[in-house]
Amino acid sequence: MSRAPLVFAAGIFYPGGEHITGWRAPGSEPHAYLDLDYYTRFAQTAEAGRFATLFLADELYVWDRFRSGIDHGVNVRLEPFTLLSALSQVTSRIGLAATVSTTYNEPYHVARKLASLDHISGGRAAWNLVTSASDEEARNFGRDAHLEHGLRYRRGAEFVDVVNGLWDGWEDDAFLFDKQSGYYADRAKLHVLDHRGDHFAVRGPLNIPRPVQGHPPLFQAGASEAGRDLAGRTADAVFTLGGGSLDTAQGIYDDYKRRAVAAGRGADDLKVLPWFSPIIGDTQADAEERFHELAALTPDRVQIDLLSHYLGTDLGERDLDEPFTFEFDLDGFNQSKSGYQSIAALLAQRPYSIRELAWEVLRRRFTLGTPDTLAAHLVERYEKRAADGFILMAPTLPDTLVRFVDDIVPRLTDAGVYPREYAGDTLRENLGLARPAGRYAA
């Protein structure tokens, strides 16, 4: 069987782009970040580029741990389901993926919202499972501190099982709508979940029919051991760290595929989509200049505070230009372990000052190049089994997405790795994934 073509997700972290101070870029529109028209243009541009899905990142707090999080880069954002429901009415093919914290939600709510979005969009809903990573979020939900890393992933795994079980509660043909007989539904095709587990007790059933896609696709981004294991068992697609060597990317790709197979699934049942954050220049030198212009919009204080956030330690009291040493404690760290490990790997290579390390972490988030070199990079990673597609996290919006669609998508299409048309009307079709049968189907 031939391999499914390359797929893209168009992501938004900050409304002005992935970069925290992208809102300062010349083409940004910070006054429009709460306007539906702004996101409509984003969605329609991505749909014109035949992206499989939109992806809305989300957090349940304001990043006020450090002053710069208020002074220079407030993480305000619209609630994902509200926004995606509106966007479902101004698009027709692109998927609509909402980030969902399994630590600070309940399965019944999430199953119902996703089923609703799937029905009103004609089968384009998806969810990105996160377990959340910050104590700031815990304090908004009656806790002083975040759940322990392993515990929240076990909760996340049970959460997925409950949501899928709720979606399967009604068989696909359970609803009769027979006006003559008066029978609205076939009771024999309703199945009560009655789940009782370590974290949830949910009777069911949902008060909405089974979703158009059966199970709206599940995305994940966990790169820790627990995160990779959960993705291998349950995810339809996984967002992975970008950059790095081809060998490293191939190793990550193979690891996720092995985990899917070990869980009794097919290797192609799990799409691996590395992070791709391009800075596009007319020449390589132009791309480098654009990066330096973007970095210049990022005060030193923001860079240092971001590094402090990744390490879970306030570095502001240290000499920023002295050699930096740090005692890493991966087992005891309770935020994002993958980012923590990547910084440890950098410090293991050579000495850095805090200022130098913050700059290096910033630089490694981006891939710099021309339309030709960036397209060639994507084709190589796809053809050499380092990716099934990519999540585009534009450093600045809307300009980066527009240029990607105008200048890079045609090159990928001409290379024969990217489709000229959408494969179908549902997100599962456009990801090359089969619609799962209900667990109670004959």
Q: Are residues 376 and 347 in the same domain?
A: no
Nearest CA-CA partner of 84 in 50, 48, 140, 128:
128
* Relative orientation angle of helices 354-363 and 337-349, to the nearest 10 degrees: 120
Residue 441 lies in a domain: no
Residue 439 lies in a domain: no
Q: Are residues 143 and 177 in the same domain?
A: yes
Contacts of 91 (CB under 8 A, 6+ apart): 43, 44, 47, 124
Question: What CATH number does the domain containing 393 carry?
Answer: 3.20.20.30
Q: Are residues 272 and 321 in the same domain?
A: no
Q: Are residues 210 and 353 in the same domain?
A: no
Q: Are residues 128 and 187 in the same domain?
A: yes
DSSP one-letter code for 377: H
Average pLDDT over residues 255-281: 97
Average pLDDT over residues 185-210: 97
Return d(Cα 64, Cα 102) in angstroms, integer: 23
Q: Are residues 325 and 346 in the same domain?
A: yes
- Write the pLDDT tens digit of every residue in 112-169: 999 999 999 999 999 999 998 788 898 999 988 888 888 999 999 999 999 999 999 9
Contact 4, 237 (CB under 8 A): no
- Write the pLDDT tens digit of every residue in 390-406: 999 999 999 999 999 99
Residue 442 lies in a domain: no
Domain boundary among 363, 397, 422: 363
Residue 436 lies in a domain: no
Q: Are residues 353 and 388 in the same domain?
A: no
Split into its structural domains, the chain has a count of: 2
Q: Which two tokens stand for residue 370?
A: 């021309």
Residue 236 lies in a domain: yes
Q: Which two tokens stand for residue 408?
A: 């890079």
- Write the pLDDT tens digit of every residue in 297-323: 988 888 888 888 888 888 877 887 888
Domain boundary among 347, 363, 379: 363
Poorest-confidence range of 57-61, 253-257, 360-364, 368-372? 360-364
pTM above 0.85, yes or no: yes
Maximum Cα–Cα distance for the chain, whole Å?
Answer: 82
C-alpha distances (whole Å) from 249 to each of 116, 118, 274, 381 are 36, 33, 8, 8
* Pure H helices in 91-134: 107-121
Return d(Cα 110, Cα 28) in angstroms, integer: 33
Higher pLDDT, 66 or 248: 248
Contact 48, 405 (CB under 8 A): yes
Domain extent for 188: 7-285+366-431
Asked if the model's pLDDT at residue 442 lies above 70, the reply is no
Contact 211, 115 (CB under 8 A): yes
